[in-house]
Amino acid sequence: MLDVLIVGSGPAGLSAAIYAKRANLSVEIAEKIFMGTGQVAESGRVDNYLGMPGISGYELGEAFRGHAEAFEIPFREAEVSGFERTENGWRALLADGESMEAKAVIYAAGAKHRHLGAKGEEELAGRGVSYCAVCDGAFYRGKIAAVAGGGDTALDDALYLSELCEKVYLIHRRSEFRGAAATLRKLEERPNVEIITGVVIEEIIGENKVSGIRLSDGRTLEVSGMFVAVGMQPETECVRDIVALDAAGYIKADETGKTSEDGFYAAGDVRTKQLRQVITAVSDGANAAISAAEYLRKL
């Protein structure tokens, strides 16, 4: 039986593995995607990871993975479909019918950005379609960008981009916004922000990179960046009956990674937190591993 089973091979899982290994624990990572590195691989360029200005998301993910491999951390390609408590810890049930057992679990399966479902979105992801304004906004300095969504993320993204871009379209499918009225007011006052409501983005246009968007009212807008901010979906389906989740489906856990269940830790985008970034995921992994090590010492 393992000391710690880590679910997820993104920055949080890989960092947790390195800290757990250095704490002399036996550890294995279950990863859904073979040789995966999580969402970071989707970022074209990462300019806000300390010490690595301008690195591509793919390269940063590979560097993290290479670090874990240098520590001889074992990986297993496995999709976890549920968990059971055992006398000595936890059993992870795998989609292929097998299982893995460990005294403690660090669950770092991440969260997915919800996609718009517009034509061209998947093909142009990373080529003008972005799911993170904080990560990619700087690449659109002086250019025209659009933001889709009506929640706080979309409003904050539009405000952030309005400081950088020549013009920002904020496009929402309804006329009422979920996001804070105060932010909406600020956007309304910005001369370079145009708010368009009651329309759907039907198509993102571009050959190799985004050049425009087609709206449901028949208009076509020229844009170089399309920021999709229509919510996140945490990967918590398989822990729904195991640990406490918040209303949006994130695992309730603080910086220590401790969840409602002893010996079950959450790290990275999957937990309740304010800022979901690579740097905070890496830090979560370290914290969760140290929490798990303390827990196992007391057992």
> Is residue 165 flagged as an active site residue?
no
First to last CA, the chain: 15
- Answer yes or no whether residue 117 interacts with ligand NAP by CB under 6 A: yes
- Answer yes or no whether residue 269 interacts with ligand NAP by CB under 6 A: no
The residue from 3, 96, 132, 284 that is catalytic is 132
Residue nearest to ligand NAP (CB): 151
Of 232, 130, 225, nearest in space to 169 by CA: 225
> Is residue 241 flagged as an active site residue?
no
User: How far is it, in rounded angstroms, from Cα 154 to Cα 143?
Assistant: 18
User: How far is it, in rounded angstroms, from Cα 88 to Cα 104?
Assistant: 9
Phi, psi of 295 (to 5 degrees): -60, -45
Which residue intervals of the chain are DSSP H helices?
Answer: 11-22, 57-70, 133-136, 152-162, 181-189, 278-298
Which H or E run includes 107?
A: strand 99-107
> Is residue 3 flagged as an active site residue?
no
Minimum CB distance to ligand NAP smaller for 37 or for 43: 43
- Answer yes or no whether residue 153 interacts with ligand NAP by CB under 6 A: yes
- Kindly write out the interface string for residues 201-240 of this chain, putting x where it contacts ligand NAP by CB under 6 A and - elsewhere: ----------------------------xxxx--------
- Answer yes or no whether residue 173 interacts with ligand NAP by CB under 6 A: yes
- Answer yes or no whether residue 174 interacts with ligand NAP by CB under 6 A: yes
Q: Which residues bind ligand NAP (CB under 6 A)?
A: 114, 116-117, 148-154, 156, 173-174, 178, 229-232
Which are the catalytic amino acids?
A: 132, 135-136
